[in-house]
Structure 1
Amino acid sequence: MGYAGNSSPQFVIPTTIATRPKDDFDFYIGDEAQQASKTHSLHYPIRHGQVESWDLMESYWQHCFFRHLRCDPEEHAVLLTEPPLNAPENREFTAEIMFESFNVPQLYIGVQAVLALAASWMDARATDKTDNPLTGCVVDSGDGVTHIIPVVDGYAIGSAIKHVPLAGREVTLFLQQLLRDRPDIKLSPEDSMEAARRIKEDQCYVCPDLPREFLKLDQDPSKIVQAFELGNGTKLDVGHERFLAPELFFNPEMSGNGSFTTPLPTLVDDVIQACPIDCRRGLYRNIVLSGGSTMFKDFGKRMQRDLKSIVEERLSYTSNLDAVNKSAVPQVNVVAHQNQRYAVWCGGSLFASMDSFPAYCHTKAEYEEFGPSICRQSRVFGSLLC
């Protein structure tokens, strides 16, 4: 959360609420909720990008406005974001809470993928300025879910969107299991989870080739093994865990969960191939990474290499690749940029700071006249959101 025009959010807190049964006034939100997990029950109002408890979500928003931002929502226009394929009913519930409970004067609900594209456009190193800034394939991976969203001229192609139940939380759990399997580490479930989270964020990276990385580890461990200090002061060496945990995105069968075995580059290719043929070149040329789970070192390089191999292999089936005109081979470009971790927020900050932003918002007067159904209409693109 933060204010429009800033380059980074003022506050980042988990969407976690800790409550006690039959006590509506004894609750904690965010980091405080996680610290109170031993005496309170933890609740997650958002799961896999969708709001599951609107009462808890309203309490969460109230905490954000008054405790962190310390602002009166009646005096500010509010921009919120929504995941792809969000139900129109959820958009209406959001409008009801914002206009009736918080009495905001103006509200805009933005599509996360479009805002992520705008954030990549803010970085001069991200893409060629001759490209269309609102056309690209967004790979958005956070803590709970990974979305692959093709966007053409600002429109998300809903029929091609895919969501993957593999994201940062699964990587943390896999890394926690790797640590607990080691005989030299004795940790409680809470401590091992915290250690896994810290190792994931500070030391993990994506390797170009898994067998070669294990060979390198055997030949010269000093190039890979790094020391890590646990919360209780215990020190341990972290080796294969560093590159094996994020490998889940490229070899998901390692998790042991048979319900999902398709590598992420293959899914990105499937999404682009499901789009109209005249849009595919622009989508391949601008594959934008977004979210904290895409921040692993060399994540973008591995994605681009694997995706390029998939495209060339498909061309080799239909014709001799050496004889194919180079102009016929689509350019594959994966964009990693400085706004990547908070790409959606940075795109929203840019959009909300524009002079034309108030003209695109829904107002309290319109809500009182027409009801929450006004949020089914996009004023930016002049179309229904459904």
Structure 2
Amino acid sequence: MDAASRPAVVIDNGSGYSKLGFSGNSEPSFTIPTAVAVNESFLNQSDSSSNGNSIAQYNAGIMADLDFFIGEEALSHSSGIYNVNYPMHHGQVQNWDTMEKFWQQCIFNYLRCDPEDHYFLLTDSPVTTPESREYAGEIMFETFNVPGLYIAVQSVLTLAAGYSTPKSDMTGVVVDIGDGSAHVVPVVNGYVIGSSIKSFPIAGNDVTQFVLQLLQERGELIPPEDSFDIARKVKEMYCYTCSDIVKEYSKHDRKPSKYIKQWSGVKPKTGVPYSVDVGYERFLGPEIFFHPEIYNDDFTTPLPDVIDSCVQSSPIDTRRALYKNIVLSGGSTMFKDFHKRLQNDVKKIVDDRIAASTARLGLDVKPQPVEVNVVAHSIQGYAVWFGGSVVASMPEFYESCHTKEDYEEYGASICRTSPIFKGMY
């Protein structure tokens, strides 16, 4: 059977989690931490072997290549002879050898497919270098011998998911906040305006760190070995976005029993049960997106201002359309009422600018208001993967992929860009 007649493999790699599955599905088959635990004891033994025995070193290298785990299994092997590595940081691949190991397990152990029988769609950060796309192409074509590869920009796939606007109008601002990186990306008719991309230095991992910091400063007795994992679960279960931080403090102080939650667990080493009170952390965690100075003195520009700056730096004839379709993507945008707070804050910035301009110019005619709309959806946590599933289901997808034959003829440079085909916009 021809590979083009089979569903494509869609892999969305993020700094914190990776989503894996096949095109045509409505949700990924697996969502796993982007972590690799490698048994390096074989390599250590080979390094200390006497007389530089090349056969022993070769065998040790083979064993080290075979003995590794990824995802939750990797985290469970974090102690002992295994060394846990995270191949991606801030949305960029930092260790290609580890990334290759991760892909190997994804394909053979999780998806259980032969890579030679499927086209592949990989996702990519909008700020990734062309050289990184070349490395990804080399690994896919040389190591896994895939018949075709398409590397898509994550923000474009978010709009291709189709939960914000009709696919015929792929214009909008994508606010993509994952575990390790956050970007605000303007897209017009399916094309990224690269010069207007804005990075935001706070992501989901920072919210977890801040929640943990608040709990520890208040003196909550958290087992040190599980502290970060507990803070992450507290964030995911209890945190929400408030409309006014002062009013929220007052509500908590008036009726603490109504708002304070309890996290209960058992200390892994002693088996002693414990409980942690979760109070102000519930709304202070996500608040760092709107008041980043409470977490980091080095950055004082709130996320709504970054979004506004992104739109204002885009071509003037696209701005109204961009404000009208601000699309959320990534697990760290899933906090309750996050989209409402973001919409209100961006709308206030825009309205204040219009009012100031009208007063300064002394205009008698009231200008037409600018519509600001922040779009949220239940799938926004895996919107990039779902967009990839939708795109890879289109007939044009297979025609637009870089093929193995193209790679052998022209080299890895063909992977620097992937064409946008008509079905995407």
CA distance in 2, matches of 1:377, 1:305: 37
From 166, 175, 191, the equivalent of 2:226 is 191
1:308 partnered with 2:344: no
2:24 paired residue number: 5
Deviation at 1:166, TM superposition (A): 0.8
From 160, 165, 170, the equivalent of 2:206 is 170
1:118–1:133 contact (8 Å) kept in structure 2: no
Structure 2 matches for 1:75-224, cutoff 5 A? 75-119=117-161, 121=162, 123=163, 126-127=164-165, 129=166, 133-183=169-219, 185-224=220-259
2:150–2:418 contact (8 Å) kept in structure 1: no
2:6 paired residue number: none
| Same amino acid, percent of matched pairs | 53
Residues 325 and 365 (structure 1 numbering): CA distance in 2 closer, same or farther, change over 3 Å?
Answer: farther
1:258 partnered with 2:297: yes
CA distance in 1, matches of 2:173, 2:71: 31
CA distance in 1, matches of 2:183, 2:254: 38
1:4–1:352 contact (8 Å) kept in structure 2: yes
Residues 101 and 198 (structure 1 numbering): CA distance in 2 closer, same or farther, change over 3 Å?
Answer: same
From 405, 410, 413, the equivalent of 1:365 is 405
1:108–1:362 contact (8 Å) kept in structure 2: yes
3-state DSSP class of the match of 1:342? helix
Residues 320 and 333 (structure 1 numbering): CA distance in 2 closer, same or farther, change over 3 Å?
Answer: same
Q: Deviations over 1:2-32 (max 9, x none)?
A: 0000010001111111224326244321111
Deviation at 1:178, TM superposition (A): 1.0
Residues 351 and 191 (structure 1 numbering): CA distance in 2 closer, same or farther, change over 3 Å?
Answer: same
Question: 5+ unaligned residues in a row in structure 1: which ranges?
Answer: none
CA distance in 1, matches of 2:261, 2:366: 43
Question: 5+ unaligned residues in a row in structure 2: which ranges?
Answer: 1-19, 45-63, 268-272
1:271 partnered with 2:310: yes
1:141–1:168 contact (8 Å) kept in structure 2: yes
3-state DSSP class of the match of 1:330? coil
From 10, 16, 19, the equivalent of 2:38 is 19
CA distance in 2, matches of 1:373, 1:73: 21
2:221–2:276 contact (8 Å) kept in structure 1: no
2:89 paired residue number: 47
1:79–1:352 contact (8 Å) kept in structure 2: yes
1:62 partnered with 2:104: yes
Structure number with greater Rg is: 2
Deviation at 1:139, TM superposition (A): 0.3
CA distance in 2, matches of 1:301, 1:41: 42
2:332 paired residue number: 293
Quick one: which amino acid aligns to residue 332 of structure 1?
A: V
Quick one: which amino acid aligns to residue 217 of structure 1?
A: H
3-state DSSP class of the match of 1:172? helix
Q: Deviations over 1:244-300 (max 9, x none)?
A: 111110111111x22222110000000100001001001000000000000000000
Give the TM-score normalised by structure 2. Answer: 0.84
Give the TM-score normalised by structure 1. Answer: 0.92
The CA RMSD over aligned residues, in Å, is 1.9
1:35 partnered with 2:71: no
1:46–1:52 contact (8 Å) kept in structure 2: yes
3-state DSSP class of the match of 2:301? coil
CA distance in 1, matches of 2:154, 2:108: 25
3-state DSSP class of the match of 1:249? coil
Q: Deviations over 1:162-187 (max 9, x none)?
A: 1122101000011111111223x222
Residues 75 and 235 (structure 1 numbering): CA distance in 2 closer, same or farther, change over 3 Å?
Answer: same
CA distance in 2, matches of 1:289, 1:250: 15
Residues 180 and 153 (structure 1 numbering): CA distance in 2 closer, same or farther, change over 3 Å?
Answer: same
1:180–1:192 contact (8 Å) kept in structure 2: no
Quick one: which amino acid aligns to residue 304 of structure 1?
A: Q
3-state DSSP class of the match of 1:37? coil
3-state DSSP class of the match of 1:95? helix
Q: Deviations over 1:107-127 (max 9, x none)?
A: 1001100100111x2x3xx44
CA distance in 1, matches of 2:310, 2:230: 35
Deviation at 1:355, TM superposition (A): 1.8
Deviation at 1:335, TM superposition (A): 0.3
Deviation at 1:334, TM superposition (A): 0.1
CA distance in 2, matches of 1:209, 1:53: 42
Deviation at 1:353, TM superposition (A): 0.9
